Chain A
Amino acid sequence: MRNRIFSAFVILFLSILIILPLSITFLLSVVPVWSEAIPNEFGLIWWKEILRPAYVKAIFNTFVVAGLSSICIVVYGIVGSYLFTYYDFMGKDFLFSMILSPTYVSCTVVSLGLIVAYVPLRNTLWMMILGNFVVVSPLVMKYVHSSMIKISKELIEASYSLGSSKMNTFTKIILPLSRQGILAGIILSIGMCMSALSIMLMLYNAGWITIPIYIYLENTTGTLGIAGVFSTILIVVTLMTVYLVDYVSEKYAGF
């Protein structure tokens, strides 16, 4: 009984800490002027405001950057996972640690390194994609690898012994059976690339401003309503991401 009460308290505590502040972000987007602690006037003025071409472009840019980055990240994640699961070679663990190392280094350090090393790409769309790729791809590879490693080796051997080619086995057996990890990786990648600020802070250019950059710029100039709208859009995307990852994990848990 005492443990149950404590469990309920823990859920309440985490909800106050995590969910409540997120719901306040939504309030920011529907309060025209937030001058008092409890707002007394509500409206969609900030939501109408984001229909301005500059803001629409920011939303478009976010989807383009996140989409293109995710394509590269997922392809690399699948190929890398395939290599680490089905091939043996010297220094396998070392290479895997090398690939995972950007995860533990500051995004600002990664950004500065890319700027220093690839000067011609500075302030281009490609640099933004590269930044996302370096930071997010290790996580996605980890996801896909953990899913691919669960596939029974006997199944793959049976496929080869029945005359199936490597490519055929890969597309017909390995990919479908590791879809849980791949889908979770795709969703995670899109979610992370869409909300990435740390990596974009130093890599963005004026023509490719994304939603997180706009939130940062709007917040520093004091226009919190727009920041609230963009934050709400990102929250919805994030919630969908969390829900989809959970759903995908549950649905294909048996594979």
Chain B
Amino acid sequence: MKYEFEKYGLLFFIGIVPVLFFFYPIFLMVQMSFHYEGAFGFSNYVKFLSSKTFIQGLFNSFFISTISVIIISLMGLMIVMSVRDYDNVKRVIKLISSLPMVFSSYIFCIALIYAYGRTGILTHLFSKFGIDFPIHKFLYTKYGIIFANIVFYLPYFIIPLFSSFEEIDPNLEEAAESLGSHGFHKFRRIIFPQVLHGFITGMLVSFLLIFNQISIVLAIGTGKTYTLTYLLFSQYERARIGMANTIATVSLISTFVIAFMFQRILRVIRR
């Protein structure tokens, strides 16, 4: 009896928190997105769909996230593959990579601008050697945001992928080699299938984080390149709460659809 009382007491305390502070606010926000000038309706959504700015923002969010994740996953895979046999190198890379994970992305972007911007130190240093360092040419565009995303979110992909590689049974690799499988063939037929689950999960996590971030767009986009989260913030700042709720709902639906798609892929892989 006492055990049951304790269990349900703890369960109530732990369970009520996400309900009160996450699901209830989200529910209210979605509900309010259907209110326009005191009446229930789809006016906010009609406005959203008929606005070039909002549609562009939605497109930018998907474009930036997709390109960033593709590059991150390819780079991450190459990095992890090349250093996985060296424990010391792995340790150094994990340490360097963990920096952005606890670091403010906004400050990181300011630093990137001072390093790679038009008048940045690196741009200047390279120009002294007659090299035109190309990053400054696109840093303030959506490609600059993609660059910042790659630098900032690469660790979120690398660190879990290291764990996936550590779980590979070395005997399996040895057996493959003794049967004549080497190089790309070994990677394609033996290694990659074993880390595929971690690879897709890493892609999902990176995609959702990039899709939902605002700081990088604020610092580098400087109002010219905007995503859904940026538009949400700007609508809130202009006290257009109804439209902010609508954008937030669209953002939530997009997040849900992306997560659902990745979950389907993971289910297919498991089979």
Which of A42-50, A53-61, A93-101, A172-180 contacts its partner? A93-101
Min distance, Cβ A175 to any Cβ of chain B, angstroms:
16
Which of B8-16, B48-56, B172-180 contacts its partner? B8-16
Asked if A164 lies at the interface with its beta carbon under 8 angstroms from chain B, I say no
Contact with A along B83-96 (1 / 0, CB 8 A): 10110010011011
A107-B212, A112-B29 in contact; A101/B22 too (CB < 8 A)? yes
Do residues A212 and B111 form an inter-chain contact, with CB atoms below 8 A?
A: no
Residue in A7, A102, A104, A130 whose beta carbon sits within 8 Å of that of B86 in the complex:
A7
Which of B37-45, B121-129, B183-191 contacts its partner? B121-129
Min distance, Cβ B9 to any Cβ of chain A, angstroms:
10
Do residues A109 and B248 form an inter-chain contact, with CB atoms below 8 A?
A: yes
Asked if A186 lies at the interface with its beta carbon under 8 angstroms from chain B, I say no
Number of interface residues of B (CB under 8 A): 77
> How far, in angstroms, from A4 to B106 measured CA to CA in the complex?
34
In the complex, which residues 106-128 of chain A have their Cβ closer than 8 Å to any Cβ of chain B? 106-110, 112-114, 116-118
> How far, in angstroms, from A246 to B208 measured CA to CA in the complex?
26
Do residues B102 and A134 form an inter-chain contact, with CB atoms below 8 A?
A: no
Min distance, Cβ A51 to any Cβ of chain B, angstroms:
21
Asked if B160 lies at the interface with its beta carbon under 8 angstroms from chain A, I say no
Interface centre among A3, A112, A234 (most CB of B within 10 A): A112
> How far, in angstroms, from A43 to B104 measured CA to CA in the complex?
25
In the complex, which residues 217-271 of chain B have their Cβ closer than 8 Å to any Cβ of chain A? 218-219, 228-229, 232-233, 236, 241, 244-245, 248, 251-252, 255, 259
> How far, in angstroms, from A98 to B98 measured CA to CA in the complex?
26
Do residues A231 and B107 form an inter-chain contact, with CB atoms below 8 A?
A: yes
Residue in B95, B122, B229, B248 whose beta carbon sits within 8 Å of that of A113 in the complex:
B248
Residue in A87, A130, A239 whose beta carbon sits within 8 Å of that of B21 in the complex:
A130
The A interface is mostly helix, strand or loop, or mixed, namely helix
In the complex, which residues 1-51 of chain B have their Cβ closer than 8 Å to any Cβ of chain A? 6-7, 10-11, 13-15, 17-18, 21-26, 28-29, 32
A/B pair count, beta carbons within 8 Å: 225
Min distance, Cβ A141 to any Cβ of chain B, angstroms:
9
Residue in A80, A114, A241 whose beta carbon sits within 8 Å of that of B25 in the complex:
A114
Q: How large is the interface on A (under 10, 10 to 19, 20 to 34, 35 or more residues)?
A: 35 or more
Q: Looking across the interface, which residue of chain A has its beta carbon closest to that of B8?
A: A89
A106-B212, A109-B232, A201-B233 in contact; A98/B18 too (CB < 8 A)? yes
> How far, in angstroms, from A166 to B215 measured CA to CA in the complex?
45
Q: Looking across the interface, which residue of chain A has its beta carbon closest to that of B106?
A: A197
Interface centre among A20, A37, A114, A118 (most CB of B within 10 A): A37
Residue in B18, B28, B105, B209 whose beta carbon sits within 8 Å of that of A116 in the complex:
B28
Do residues A112 and B215 form an inter-chain contact, with CB atoms below 8 A?
A: no
A112-B245, A197-B104 in contact; A14/B96 too (CB < 8 A)? yes
A18-B99, A201-B214 in contact; A231/B111 too (CB < 8 A)? yes
Asked if A74 lies at the interface with its beta carbon under 8 angstroms from chain B, I say no
Do residues B14 and A83 form an inter-chain contact, with CB atoms below 8 A?
A: yes
Do residues B18 and A216 form an inter-chain contact, with CB atoms below 8 A?
A: no
> How far, in angstroms, from A27 to B115 measured CA to CA in the complex?
11
Min distance, Cβ B100 to any Cβ of chain A, angstroms:
6
Known A-B contacts: A113-B25, A234-B104, A239-B99. Give 5 more (CB < 8 A).
A7-B89, A10-B93, A79-B13, A192-B102, A238-B102
Q: Which 9 pairs from chain A and chain B are nearest by CB?
A: A113-B25, A37-B124, A106-B212, A21-B111, A117-B25, A195-B104, A21-B115, A191-B102, A7-B89
Residues of B within 8 A of A (CB): 6-7, 10-11, 13-15, 17-18, 21-26, 28-29, 32, 79, 82-83, 85-86, 89, 92-93, 95-100, 102-108, 110-112, 114-116, 119-125, 151, 154, 205, 208-209, 211-215, 218-219, 228-229, 232-233, 236, 241, 244-245, 248, 251-252, 255, 259
